[in-house]
Structure 1
Amino acid sequence: MTVESLAVFCGSSTGLKRVYMEQAENFGKELANKNKTLIYGGAQVGCMGALADASLNSGGNVVGMIPQKLKAVEIAHDQLTALHVVDTMHERKSKMAELADGFVALPGGSGTLEEWFEVFTWSQLGYHEKPCGLLNVNNFFDPLMRMLNHTIEQGFMNKSYRDMIIVSSDPKELIEKMDCYTPNFALKWT
């Protein structure tokens, strides 16, 4: 399966270390270099803005989805290939999921995690067969992977679900792995 567009969830903050912004920029450049459309939350701030700007500056297509409430506080990016203004966060996530061929989380806060976990859960349940990846900048997602291992050890998650997650600290490698993804759906209730 070739992924032509990726929905990327990441922080509207910069994080405390410069590496978070640098890797957001690197990921945006790599998406453009691979002719992949970036679909993201539509903001011009933080890692989100760095990601979008880097992709745009490298000739990429960038589609933003932003709720009217956030556009009203002037964080919407006004230089995108396309910006869709929606009414709710639910509508934003639904539209992003509809348009994307895969999903990636870069470091971010609770919103980033919530958005990524929703599409990852849909994958587990067989609602889609799109790859779900994590760009593990500065080992940011190591604690999350330990938590997922704990859920497996405690009998709340099947190991095959964790194995569906594509993890890399290198933007180019992550995108290549996303392109090579083969769905491996396992029925949850067996």
Structure 2
Amino acid sequence: MGTVSLAAHVGGSKVLGIIPKALTATNITGMTVGTEIQVSTMHERISKMLEKSDAFIALPGGYGTLEEIFQMLSWSQLNIHRKPIGLLNVNNFFDGLLSFLNHAVEQNFISHSARQLLVSASTADELIDKLQHFVHAPDPVMAQLDWSEQGSKKRRFDLTLSL
């Protein structure tokens, strides 16, 4: 993350880092460039990323990268957000993962429409172009979900017993 944020900063882009306080204490992340927002939990980090981002791009990484990109995919599938999500498939790093996702579609564990929520490309320019042209097309069933405060209120039922 540090190398990418530094390169973006040097290239003239705005950089916003959202980091749990626990990770700042250990100096795992290295030098901060741009603006940094410290949060208490990983869940708060994901929520803040969703609030502040226009799109999500995963570069080759480990468990944390995979967790975050799949959480964004799940939330997109559930129609919580409509932001584009991409994998920068540097040196074919994600080929096995993309093959697995296609297999999951073939086995009917992931719908074809949900599979289209993740785009990939081998170059940054190609990925940015795909993300700029992305159109969120939710599954018809998922599109009916209401995540607003009003939609999440419990319905009241009249449970009065009449004899």
CA distance in 2, matches of 1:138, 1:188: 37
The TM-score with structure 2 as length reference comes to 0.82
Which residue matches 1:113?
A: 66
Closer, same or farther: CA 151–118 of 1 in aligned 2, 3 Å: same
CA distance in 1, matches of 2:96, 2:29: 31
- What's the offset of the Cα at 1:101? 1.0
The within-5 A match list for 1:57-136 is 57-136=10-89
Kindly report structure 1 stretches of 4+ aligned residues shifted beyond 6 Å.
none
Which residue matches 2:116?
A: 163
The structure whose Rg is larger is: 2
Alignment root-mean-square deviation, CA: 1.4
Match for 2:61: what amino acid?
Answer: G
Closer, same or farther: CA 184–141 of 1 in aligned 2, 3 Å: same
Q: Deviations over 1:138-179 (max 9, x none)?
A: 111111111111211222111121122211011011112111
Percent identity of equivalent pairs:
46
Q: Is the 8 A contact 1:49 1:77 kept in 2?
A: yes
User: What SS does structure 1 have at the residue aligned with 2:61?
Assistant: coil
Q: Is the 8 A contact 2:2 2:31 kept in 1?
A: no
User: What SS does structure 1 have at the residue aligned with 2:56?
Assistant: strand
CA distance in 1, matches of 2:120, 2:141: 22
Aligned pairs, number = 142
Q: Is the 8 A contact 1:124 1:186 kept in 2?
A: yes
User: What SS does structure 1 have at the residue aligned with 2:38?
Assistant: strand
Q: Which runs of 5+ in 1 are unaligned?
A: 1-47
Which residue matches 1:50?
A: 3
Q: Is the 8 A contact 1:124 1:185 kept in 2?
A: yes
The within-5 A match list for 1:11-30 is none
- What's the offset of the Cα at 1:76? 4.1
Q: Is the 8 A contact 2:14 2:34 kept in 1?
A: yes
Closer, same or farther: CA 188–155 of 1 in aligned 2, 3 Å: farther
Match for 1:96: what amino acid?
Answer: M
